[in-house]
Chains A and B, each alone.
Chain A
Amino acid sequence: MTGGFHLTKRDGISRGKAVLIRLVAVLLSLIVCGLVIMAITGDNPVEVYAALIDGAVGSKNRLWNTIRSMMLLLIVAVGLTPAFKMRFWNIGAEGQILVGGIAAAGLMIYGGGSLPGAVLIPLILIVSTVSGLLWGLIPAFFKAYFNTNETLFTLMLNYVAIQLTNFAIILWESPKGSNSVGVINQASKAGWFPKLFGANDTMIVLLVLLVTVLMAVYLRYSKQGYEIAVVGESRDTARYAGINVKKVILRTMMISGGICGLAGAIIVCGASHTISTGITGGRGFTAIIVAWMSHFNALAMALVSAFLGFMQQGAIQIATQFGLNENASEIITGIILFFLIGSEFFINYRIGRKGGGKG
Chain B
Amino acid sequence: MKRRLTGLLTAAVLCVSALAGCSATENAGGTAQTADQPATAASGGAATEVSGEQFVMSAQDIKVGAIVIGDENEGYTAAHLNGLEGMKAALGLTDEQLLVKTNIADTEACYDAATDLVDQGCNIIFANSFGHETYLMQAAEEHPEVQFCHATGYQAALSGLENFHNYFTAIYQSRYVSGVVAGMKINEMIANGEIMEEDAKIGYVGAFPFAEVISGFTSFYLGAKSVCPSVTMTVRYTNSWGDLSLEKEMAKQMVADGCVLLSQHSDTVGTPTGAQESGVPCVGYNISMISAAPDSALTSATMDWSVYYTYAVKSVLEGTPIATDWAQGYPEGVNLITELNEAIVAEGTAEKVAEIEAKLTAGTLNVFDTSTFTVGGKTLEELIAEGGDYAKYADYVSDGYFHESELASAPAFDLIIDGIDAQVD
**B355-377 vs A: 1/0 string, CB under 8 Å?**
00000000000000000000000
Q: Which residue of A lies closest to B115 (CB)?
A: A61
CA distance A326 to B109 in the complex (A): 13
Residues on B with beta carbons closer than 8 Å to the beta carbon of A186: 134, 137-138
> Is B401 interfacial (CB 8 A cutoff)?
no
CA distance A325 to B70 in the complex (A): 10
**A147-186 vs B: 1/0 string, CB under 8 Å?**
0000000000000000000100000000111111011001
Contact present for A319 and B131 (CB under 8 Å): no
Contact present for A177 and B210 (CB under 8 Å): yes
28 A–B contacts, CB within 8 A, in A order = A59-B116, A59-B119, A61-B112, A61-B119, A62-B116, A175-B154, A175-B210, A177-B209, A177-B210, A177-B213, A177-B214, A178-B130, A179-B239, A180-B130, A180-B131, A182-B134, A272-B107, A273-B108, A274-B134, A276-B106, A279-B107, A281-B105, A316-B116, A319-B101, A320-B99, A325-B102, A325-B103, A326-B102
CA distance A276 to B107 in the complex (A): 8
CA distance A186 to B136 in the complex (A): 11
Give B contacts to A, CB under 8 Å: 21, 71, 99-108, 112-113, 115-116, 119, 130-131, 133-135, 137-138, 154, 208-214, 239, 414, 424
Q: Quick one: given A59-B119, A175-B154, A177-B208, are A182 and B131 in contact (CB under 8 Å)?
A: yes
11 more A-B contacts (CB under 8 A) besides A316-B116, A319-B102?
A: A59-B119, A61-B112, A61-B116, A178-B210, A178-B212, A183-B135, A186-B138, A274-B134, A278-B106, A316-B104, A319-B103
Q: Which residue of B lies closest to A55 (CB)?
A: B116
The number of A-B residue pairs with CB atoms under 8 Å apart is 76
Residues on A with beta carbons closer than 8 Å to the beta carbon of B101: 316, 319-320
A279 to chain B, nearest CB (A): 6
CA distance A186 to B101 in the complex (A): 24
Do most interface residues of chain A lie in helix, strand or loop, or is the interface mixed?
A: loop
A108 to chain B, nearest CB (A): 13
Residues on B with beta carbons closer than 8 Å to the beta carbon of A183: 134-135, 137-138
CA distance A272 to B103 in the complex (A): 16
Q: Give the one of B112, B135, B212 with max A CB within 10 A.
A: B112
B70 to chain A, nearest CB (A): 9
> Is A212 interfacial (CB 8 A cutoff)?
no
B210 to chain A, nearest CB (A): 3
B116 to chain A, nearest CB (A): 6
> Is A65 interfacial (CB 8 A cutoff)?
yes
Q: Which residue of B lies closest to A317 (CB)?
A: B116
> Is A21 interfacial (CB 8 A cutoff)?
no
CA distance A274 to B105 in the complex (A): 13
> Is A28 interfacial (CB 8 A cutoff)?
no
Residues on B with beta carbons closer than 8 Å to the beta carbon of A179: 208, 210, 239
B353 to chain A, nearest CB (A): 31
CA distance A178 to B129 in the complex (A): 12
Q: Quick one: given A65-B112, A320-B101, are A178 and B208 in contact (CB under 8 Å)?
A: yes
Residues on B with beta carbons closer than 8 Å to the beta carbon of A273: 108
> Is A245 interfacial (CB 8 A cutoff)?
no
CA distance A61 to B106 in the complex (A): 19
Q: Which residue of B lies closest to A183 (CB)?
A: B134
> Is A211 interfacial (CB 8 A cutoff)?
no
